[in-house]
Amino acid sequence: MYLTHDTIDLAAFLAEARPSDGAVCLFVGVVRNESEGKETVAIEYQAYEEMAELELAHVVASVSQEWPGAFVRICHRVGRLSVGEPSVAILVTAPHRETAFAACRLAIEWLKEWAPIWKKEIRPDGSGEWVEPTGRDAGHGTRNT
């Protein structure tokens, strides 16, 4: 299970390192209070949950193949999150830091591109706006198209 409706437990995540690992790299994405100059009070994350589980498993498998020796874990939150709450955590442990840093970076990039997950920024007046990246930042939500 890669998606959760509950608060991401970062401490439990960090406890995953193996005795052979000398490097632990943790990336945490957090809800910000603004987006392109517009104030944000919360973000609502929605996922095509059954497909997102498959896609995130594919991210883990692909990153592990790209960086042998890396142990990759992903947890992505869904539902309504307040400013400052973690929306995603990616943990990579590896024998050495080069692998841990590189695999962690690759995992978040592929997650953003492949996972069918969406976010709606909630403004102070209660209105909401779905974020739909275009051009260079656009993800596909799929791997093959």
CB of 33 to another protein, least distance (A): 17
How many whole angstroms from its chain centre is CA 49?
Answer: 14
3-class SS at 145? coil
CA distance 8 to 6: 6
User: Where are the alpha helices (H) located in 67-117, listed in sequence order?
Assistant: 97-114
By CB under 8 A, tell whether 87 contacts another protein: yes
- Choose which of 19, 50, 65, 68 interacts with another protein (CB under 8 A): 50
Kindly list the distances between the CA atom of residue 105 and the CA atoms of 11, 29, 30, 56, 89, in Å, as whole numbers in the listed order: 20, 12, 16, 15, 12
- Residues from 91 through 110 that contact another protein (CB under 8 A): 108
- Choose which of 47, 57, 73, 127 interacts with another protein (CB under 8 A): 47
By CB under 8 A, tell whether 142 contacts another protein: yes
By CB under 8 A, tell whether 127 contacts another protein: no
Q: What is the separation, in whole angstroms, between the first and last Cα of the chain?
A: 25
Kindly list the distances between the CA atom of residue 86 and the CA atoms of 11, 25, 65, in Å, as whole numbers in the listed order: 13, 16, 27
Minimum CB distance to another protein smaller for 76 or for 91:
76
Which range of residues in 11-19, 64-72, 94-102, 135-143 is near another protein by CB under 8 A? 135-143
**Residues contributing to the site for another protein (CB under 8 A):** 29, 45-48, 50-52, 54, 76, 87-88, 108, 111-120, 130-134, 138-145
